[in-house]
Structure 1
Amino acid sequence: MRRKLMPLAASGLVAAILLSGCAAGGSGKASGGGGGKGKVTLTFLTFETPNLTAKYWDDAIARASAKVPGVTIKKLVAPSVDRVGYAKQLAASGQLPDIMIGVSPNGFAQAGQLASWSDGQLSDFVSPHSNPIGGKIYQLPYDTQPTPLVYYNKSDFTAAGIAAPPKTYQDLLDDCAKLKTKGINPLVVGGGGKDTWADMYPLIGAVATDTYRPEPDWLAQKAKGKAKFTDPAFTKAAQKVSDLAKKGYIDRAGLSRSYADDEQAFRANKGAMYPMGSWFAASADAKKPPFDVGVFAWPSDDGSLVMPSYTGGGMSVSSKAPDVALAQKWALAFMLDKTSLDASVKTDGSIIALKDYTPPAGMGPVYTATLDLYQQAVKQHAIVDAFSVESGDDSLPAGVADKAAAGVADLINGKKTAQEFGAFLDSEWAKADE
């Protein structure tokens, strides 16, 4: 899921643990002060998806708690995919959870609500200084997610006479035309209900190739007032999305579909290509569609490999937790647990960003192809940020990513031109900075 940014699945229950899904943060009492040695009750905000079930979380919580005696966890489950919004609601009422996973630290860290991680605590991570805020790290960078890749129906490609996935952007347009001629919808794109973020993936891909590849620090330049969304560097990418919709290559009716319905539409052969985060690989392997699935990176104009990715998604700890040291110790125990990491790979397609980590044997073909493609991008130094998914100092102001998703719907529906979309984002950024 979107900036999910966090994953994992289920194994056997290792230890019994008291779980409660009703209370919110900061209510526990520690007998050990701040030293991490006492008994404490900590609230933990997580989320559930078809991949990451309640059992997955309960089992993972139990394993971490078995390694950190003295901790009792009260599990909180976000009611929607908008975990940041829910965490803000809790914080506004003085109930920020003691531990959170997959919640962007932006806003919380600047307000002094989160405890930072030390270099020693981050020593096991491949990219220990991902997404700094004021030079400090507030979220464990445990998982890398290419966002998006393009998963495709090999049978549809064969039926349209397409011998190989597109390498250049013109190849993509040519393939879309061939598919359309055969009566096959080229691109499956959703964004209905609360899942407006699901319409962002074509834009994220285009921004990666047309904006971030030539100017990797473009968003930082925007923050300094040296760039605008109405500049050609950005509107070229937005125009590509608009043109895809105008040509009928993106089915506008699909914007009413939720994230889950969007995936089901691809599975039900309602479109040949599915721009989505790398987590879809696990779903495709776990429940194979009635066709073989391939994967490629959103193509650049010249065919160079470019891959938008995000590394982060791990745990953050409240600076007001009843025992910050013990909360951080528990969070690390959870994040570094091999069983949980393997489960995350198997159920959510995670690319674990920990030193010396090896995925479990026997992973399926879609995950294997996804991982191989990512590793190619790493070797070619082709990784760029994923627009709207960034966190840390060089990211969109709080709330602007959601506004961008609403704007993309207008871009696809023809209600906004690329230039108007850029002006809309500039305006929303200005409002967020007020």
Structure 2
Amino acid sequence: MKKWFTMCMTLLILGAVLAACSGSEGSEENQTNKEAGKDIEIVFQSWVTPNLTVDYYDQLIQRFESENPGIKVKRIQPPANEGSPDSYLKALLASGDFPDVVQNATIQMFVDADALLEVPIDDDIKNINNYEAEMIDGKLYNISAIRQPQSLIFYNKKLFEEAGIEATPKTWAELETAAEKLKAKNITPILTAGDWTAGFTFSVMTSSNIYKENRNWYADRFDNKVKFTDADWIESASYYTDLVKKGYFNKGALSIDYTAAEQEFLKGKGAMYPMGSWFSAAEATADKDFEVGVFATPTKDGTQYLLGGENAGGYAVAKNSNHPEEALKFAKFMMLDPEAHKGYLQADALFSNLKIPLKWDMSPLQTEIYELLLNNPPMVGHLNNKVGKVPVAGIQDQYNKVAQSILLGDTDVESNMKTLDEYWDKNNK
């Protein structure tokens, strides 16, 4: 037994039997197949959403395979209702089944695990605006060329009119006044859900007020210059908690998921829906009898500031892939091929961050979002995205717990925010 274990460990160290999720062929056999003219297979972890459907990915994969004979792509996907594929990928990494290409992962987490391949800075990468900002210790691991505003509140213009709301809220006080008017008309003011949506909603409705003043907040948190229990965060979290206490969110929010909340809004069951720009793709094809508008999440003083992602949520390649060249080629195709890039933007209502940006036919709502984007300073992230620095791994789950706790009726703001500091300090490695 000891001899067998030693032999296996040696092989693992040499990387000779690490199969990228297929688990059936060692690298030597794969190389033999390649030399014999047989197809090679790369495994791709896709991120499936109501916008980025299975059919969306399968059509792109089919085109890639037709243009690259000899390469086959096996698509896998995480379970539904997760805010990111991180937990799924961590399990695959631990089992030795890490995919060749991953999408929408928290890059820092898997760089720390030594799981990702450094992406060469070639002409393709140099065509992306601000790609340098995504580098980690001077190295690039993620291929992305998009801008994605997230701190948005979509609203039902018909319900706003019924409640006598003439202007979109810019301040916290104005949002509370609008919510009070809507509730008086028996209209649910704000919709959210109980999965990752809860933490997302909490983050976008509070963080803008913090990060507009400090766009390096996470970096400062690492240096212990700021905390989640500081006065500004307590004030922002109290504002959000008061909205819950006053009954402005949908009843039973914790019992539904992201997809259900989206459908509730599109059915006219709620007046406001905090969500990222990708919602507008679903709105553009929805059958409804009302118009949807959008505004930036309010801040205490009314200063408009957008949170979101730039060059995030892209494609990365496994360091131990048996086919790194082919995997990198596929990752580049999915993000940078002109047809694929434009299709991705339109499917998920994103905006091109190429130096020569590709444009797509925007709906009226998407045009509104684009104008918000143009009229605001450069975005920073929030939740599990960079705000001066990428936060500690898994912080998104703790945001979710805080938001879910508030929705369950726990109104002890300081205690809830303290859990974020405790999580940060425990996981700051």
What TM-score do you get using the length of structure 2 for normalisation?
Answer: 0.87
Structure 2 residue 309 is matched with structure 1 residue 310: yes
Larger Rg: 2
> Measured at CA, do residues 58 and 232 of structure 1 come closer, stay the same or move farther in structure 2, by a change above 3 Å?
same
Residue equivalent to 2:10: none
Other structure's SS at 2:403 match: helix
How far is the alpha carbon of 1:279 from its aligned partner?
A: 0.4
Residue equivalent to 1:294: 293
Residue equivalent to 2:215: 216
User: In the alignment, is the contact (CA less than 8 A) between 2:153 and 2:274 conserved in 1?
Assistant: yes
Question: Once the two structures are superposed, what CA deviation does each residue of 1:273-310 show, in whole Å capped at 9, x if it has no partner?
Answer: 00011100010011143211000000122322200011
CA distance in 2, matches of 1:24, 1:106: 25
Question: For 1:86, which of 81, 85, 88 is the aligned residue?
Answer: 88
Structure 2 residue 187 is matched with structure 1 residue 188: no
CA distance in 1, matches of 2:31, 2:56: 30
Residue equivalent to 1:15: none
Question: Once the two structures are superposed, what CA deviation does each residue of 1:339-359 show, in whole Å capped at 9, x if it has no partner?
Answer: 222322332212222222232
Q: Which amino acid aligns with 2:332?
A: L
Residue equivalent to 1:432: 427
CA distance in 2, matches of 1:431, 1:264: 38
Deviation larger for 46-55 or 235-244: 46-55
Percent identity at matched positions? 30
Other structure's SS at 1:118 match: coil
How far is the alpha carbon of 1:26 from its aligned partner?
A: 8.5
User: Superposed, which structure 2 residues align to 1:14-413 within 5 Å?
Assistant: 23=22, 31=31, 40-80=40-80, 81=82, 82-120=84-122, 121-191=124-194, 196-311=195-310, 312-361=312-361, 363-377=362-376, 381=377, 383-391=378-386, 394-413=389-408
User: Superposed, which structure 2 residues align to 1:3-14 within 5 Å?
Assistant: none
Residue equivalent to 1:9: none
> Measured at CA, do residues 421 and 391 of structure 1 come closer, stay the same or move farther in structure 2, by a change above 3 Å?
same
> Measured at CA, do residues 393 and 115 of structure 1 come closer, stay the same or move farther in structure 2, by a change above 3 Å?
farther
User: In the alignment, is the contact (CA less than 8 A) between 2:152 and 2:295 conserved in 1?
Assistant: yes
The unaligned stretches of length 5 or more in structure 1 are 1-20
Residue equivalent to 2:11: none
How far is the alpha carbon of 1:32 from its aligned partner?
A: 9.5
Relative to total residues, which structure has the larger helix share, 1 or 2?
A: 2
User: In the alignment, is the contact (CA less than 8 A) between 2:380 and 2:386 conserved in 1?
Assistant: no
Residue equivalent to 1:7: none
> Measured at CA, do residues 263 and 209 of structure 1 come closer, stay the same or move farther in structure 2, by a change above 3 Å?
same
Question: Once the two structures are superposed, what CA deviation does each residue of 1:309-351 show, in whole Å capped at 9, x if it has no partner?
Answer: 1121110001111132332122112211222223223322122
> Measured at CA, do residues 255 and 170 of structure 1 come closer, stay the same or move farther in structure 2, by a change above 3 Å?
same
User: In the alignment, is the contact (CA less than 8 A) between 1:134 and 1:393 conserved in 2?
Assistant: no
Structure 1 outlier segments of 4+, above 6 Å? none
CA distance in 2, matches of 1:22, 1:107: 19
> Measured at CA, do residues 231 and 64 of structure 1 come closer, stay the same or move farther in structure 2, by a change above 3 Å?
same
Question: Once the two structures are superposed, what CA deviation does each residue of 1:392-423 show, in whole Å capped at 9, x if it has no partner?
Answer: 98223222211220111112333142211111
User: In the alignment, is the contact (CA less than 8 A) between 1:176 and 1:186 conserved in 2?
Assistant: yes
CA distance in 1, matches of 2:109, 2:360: 36
User: In the alignment, is the contact (CA less than 8 A) between 2:191 and 2:249 conserved in 1?
Assistant: yes
User: In the alignment, is the contact (CA less than 8 A) between 2:307 and 2:379 conserved in 1?
Assistant: yes
User: In the alignment, is the contact (CA less than 8 A) between 2:156 and 2:271 conserved in 1?
Assistant: yes
CA distance in 2, matches of 1:102, 1:261: 22
CA distance in 1, matches of 2:318, 2:263: 37
Other structure's SS at 1:156 match: helix
Q: Which amino acid aligns with 1:325?
A: E
How far is the alpha carbon of 1:202 from its aligned partner?
A: 3.6
Q: Which amino acid aligns with 2:316?
A: S
Q: Which amino acid aligns with 1:177?
A: E
CA distance in 2, matches of 1:25, 1:139: 27
How far is the alpha carbon of 1:117 from its aligned partner?
A: 1.8
Q: Which amino acid aligns with 1:408?
A: A
User: In the alignment, is the contact (CA less than 8 A) between 1:317 and 1:324 conserved in 2?
Assistant: yes
How far is the alpha carbon of 1:262 from its aligned partner?
A: 0.6
Residue-pair matches, total: 403
Q: Which amino acid aligns with 1:125?
A: I
How far is the alpha carbon of 1:220 from its aligned partner?
A: 0.9
User: In the alignment, is the contact (CA less than 8 A) between 1:189 and 1:254 conserved in 2?
Assistant: yes
Other structure's SS at 2:356 match: coil
User: In the alignment, is the contact (CA less than 8 A) between 2:50 and 2:282 conserved in 1?
Assistant: no
The unaligned stretches of length 5 or more in structure 2 are 1-19
CA distance in 1, matches of 2:40, 2:132: 29
Other structure's SS at 1:200 match: helix
Residue equivalent to 1:3: none
CA distance in 2, matches of 1:220, 1:252: 37
